[in-house]
């Protein structure tokens, strides 16, 4: 794994975080307990901060980045991911906020200042445009993402199951 300091900021990893050897984490990044970062992931907190909550998992080939602060945009766009979030393979998250217990489907793209409220299911290949807010408890699909239907109780329960499953898998990898 490549953990790199940038401008004096070194990524901080919580207890029992798994980072695959081929992942790269740079700069102002904090990853909470039992989270997992899988092969080929790039997390680049060079021009703003990235925070990843406990038991969240970032799957293979995903890219997490941020937007710099400027006169036009004094806060820039940090990236904040809640707890128990599953980020599928080859997802791009850029300067957005993902609340607790969301699932971001493979190949999705979430742009600056977009917000996924808790317990959102974003289907594979979806695009969430800049500044868009996705409401809690719904399935969203498409480019741009559109609200499709309310999630069932079974689907809502799946968020915690999926996060726990990846935490178990990460433990197996850490133990060899």
- Per the prediction, the chain carries an average pLDDT of 96
Q: Where are the domains of the chain?
A: 2-175
Please state the rounded mean pLDDT for residues 62-66: 98
Per-residue confidence at 135, pLDDT binned at 50, 70, 90? very high
pLDDT reported for residue 176: 83
pLDDT reported for residue 142: 98
> Which residues have a Cβ under 8 Å from the Cβ of 152 and sit 6 or more positions away?
none
Summarize pLDDT for 102-121 with one digit per residue, the tens. Answer: 999 999 999 999 999 999 99
Residue 36 to residue 61: CA distance in whole angstroms: 13
Tell me if the pTM is above 0.75. Answer: yes
To which CATH superfamily is domain 2-175 assigned? Hexapeptide repeat proteins (2.160.10.10)
Instruction: Look at residue 76 and tell me whether its pLDDT is greater than 80.
Output: yes
DSSP state of 153: H
Q: Locate tokens 């021009």: which residue?
A: 47
> Which residues have a Cβ under 8 Å from the Cβ of 139 and sit 6 or more positions away?
121, 123, 147, 148, 149, 150, 151, 155
Pair 42, 61: CB distance under 8 Å: no
pLDDT reported for residue 1: 67
Please state the rounded mean pLDDT for residues 28-54: 97
Instruction: Look at residue 55 and tell me whether its pLDDT is greater than 90.
Output: yes
């Amino acid at each position: 794994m490549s953990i790199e300091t940038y401008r004096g900021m070194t990524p901080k990893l919580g207890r029992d975080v798994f980072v695959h050897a081929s992942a790269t984490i740079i700069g102002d990044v904090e990853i909470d307990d039992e989270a997992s970062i899988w092969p080929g992931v790039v997390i680049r907190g060079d021009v703003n901060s990235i925070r990843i909550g406990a038991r969240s998992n970032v799957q293979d080939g995903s890219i997490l980045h941020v937007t710099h602060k400027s006169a036009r945009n004094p806060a820039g766009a940090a990236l904040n991911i809640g707890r128990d979030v599953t980020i599928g393979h080859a997802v791009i998250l850029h300067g957005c906020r993902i609340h607790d217990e969301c699932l971001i489907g493979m190949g999705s793209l979430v742009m600056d200042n977009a917000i996924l409220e808790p317990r959102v299911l974003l289907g594979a290949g979806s695009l969430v445009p800049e500044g868009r807010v996705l409401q809690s408890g719904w399935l969203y699909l498409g480019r741009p993402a559109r609200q499709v239907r309310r999630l069932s109780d079974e689907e809502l329960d799946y968020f915690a199951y999926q996060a726990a499953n990846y935490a178990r898998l990460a433990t197996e990898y850490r133990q060899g």
